[in-house]
Structure 1
Amino acid sequence: MLGVQKASSAPDRIIAAPKSGKLSEADRDFVVKVRAAGLWEYSVGLMALQKSTTKSIRTAGQQLTAEDASLDAACRSTAGQLGITLPDQPSPQQQGFVSRLNADSPEQFGADMATTVRAVDGQLLMTIASVRSTTKNSLIRALAAEANQTVLDHIRAVEKTGLVDFDQAVFQETSPPSLPAHDLTPPPPAAGQPQVILTPPADSTVSPRSTVD
């Protein structure tokens, strides 16, 4: 297994050469980032359904949970084919997002959730574009295409709430990370534990997008 790691200092280094094409460190790290992003956003989506009484926020929550579950299935499939170990928890920074939103009052939650998702997904969108344009692996290209559509859908969903603080979102999106590397790195999965699988809520009205082969 290739392991759970943060973006490396040698992203162009080739670490495997499967039939789907050469796999770089950046490719591997991208799969891990997609998994970690889904883990924290899925939790926030569930929180929106449980905590908010605002229709637009609940609608966004439904979209996040359903589409993150679909993208997670694609991510797990890609990782399995490429021998990449995935985390079962988001990074400490992402866990901090979840904890902060969980502590919000129902009234404050909507604006904080919409702004946080908009900012973080804006950053992820730039990562997706970079990986899609540089990867030599067909499985990574397919995952990047699905991740791109999912992230755009999520950005549109939170923008439709009318609660995004765009000044704050753009500031967070464009500011360099000030946290130590370990806070940006998802922990490796616990040995012997079943893999966490994201599933859409039973009453979801959002049709999941088909996953990559």
Structure 2
Amino acid sequence: MGGALSLTLVALAYPTMLGLKTVSTDSQRIIAQTQWGPLTEGDRDFVVKVRAAGLWEYPVGQMAVKKGTTKEVVTAGEHLIDGHAALDTTCRRIAPMLNIQLPNVASPQQQQFVAQLNSDSGKQFDSDFANILRTTHGSIFTTIAKIRSTTKNSLVRALADQANDTVLDHITVMEKTGLVDFDQALFQQTFPPKLPDSEVTPPPPAAGQPQVVLTPPPNATSTPVALPGDPAPAPSSTVR
């Protein structure tokens, strides 16, 4: 694998991969009691992480659709757009229910990922895209499992279920590009570099700023989580 990719991952790869460190050492500290169950610091940070992930992976997916030189890279980009649009819808719906403030831009670290891929072209783009995204998704996979197994909040649990399915799908399509350097990716997941909090925390939205919406593609196949109070889906009709 080329030296440019190695430098990119060493310089940018994850401490928490989706952009936010917890604000204290006790992620299980309850910060609110809600009708959907207690909300911990870890729960809140997870919702913000999922939102921040979409704010950089959605535009990177759009890049891959335009710049990818293989069908597999283009397909991976389409999956990023589709999956993160649905996750973002869920985040934006549950955040006000849980009194969670969502960012409108990704963390500085995540913006560097976007800048790196924006500057790439051709085969270099394909390679960096597949490896950066495989590393980031692999890193967050265990975080999702921990939240899913420990949260007592049903809304956060539902988001974790959706995120688990989406991240596994994205890992799979990155691997199908045939471009992933597994030794490099697994090393970065196991020994992430330490970065200051300012690099991995998305800034809060400016007062009065409209909320950024990640629009689902016309052919979307991923769907947001059904929340309490949502109307039941209409029964499918059968032609006889």
Aligning the two structures, in what range does the TM-score lie when normalised by the shorter sequence?
A: over 0.9
- Whole-angstrom distance in 2 between the partners of 1:166 and 1:53: 21
What are structure 2's unaligned runs of at least 5 residues? 1-18, 228-240
**Match for residue 66 of structure 2 among 50, 64, 78:** 50
> Cα RMSD between the aligned structures?
1.5
Contact 1:63/1:206 (8 A) holds in 2: no
Name the structure 2 match of 1:29. Answer: 45
Q: In structure 2, what residue type is equivalent to 1:211? A: V
Paired residue type of 1:208: S
Cα shift readout 1:44-99 (whole Å, capped 9, x = no counterpart) = 10000111231111111111101110111011111121010000111111111111
1:81 and 2:97 correspond? yes
The higher radius of gyration belongs to 2
With normalisation by structure 2, the TM-score equals 0.83
The 5 A counterparts of 1:131-170 are 131-170=147-186
Matched, 1:208 2:230: no
SS at match of 2:159: helix
Which residue does 1:172 correspond to in 2? Answer: 188
Pick which of 167-176 and 123-132 moved more: 167-176
Matched, 1:6 2:25: no
- How far is the alpha carbon of 1:5 from its aligned partner? 6.3
- Counterpart in 2 of 1:17? 33
Matching of residue 123 in structure 1 with residue 107 in structure 2:
no
**Alpha-carbon contact 1:7-1:26 (below 8 Å) kept:** yes
Deviations 1:158-207 (A, max 9, x none): 111111111111111111332111101111111111100001344xx441
Distance 1:115 1:160 in 2: 12
Instruction: Specify the code of the residue in structure 2 equivalent to 1:128.
Output: I
Q: Percent identity?
A: 58
CA contact 1:143–1:212 (8 Å) conserved in 2:
no
- Give the SS at the match of 2:117: helix
Q: Which runs of 4+ in 1 moved over 6 A?
A: none
SS of equivalent residue, structure 2 residue 31: strand
The one of 180, 184, 189 aligned to 2:200: 184
Query: 1:172 & 1:190 partners in 2: Cα distance?
Result: 33
CA shift at 1:6, angstroms?
3.1
Please state if 1:40 is matched with 2:56.
Answer: yes
Give the corresponding residue for 2:115: 99
| SS in structure 2 of the partner of residue 198 of structure 1 | coil
- Please tell me the residue identity of whatever aligns with 2:52: A
| SS of residue matched to 1:17 | strand
Q: Look up the equivalent residue of 2:225 and give its one-letter code.
A: T
TM-score scaled to structure 1, two decimals? 0.93
Size of the aligned set, in residue pairs, is 208
Are the equivalent residues in 1 in contact too, given 2:64–2:73 (CA < 8 A)? yes
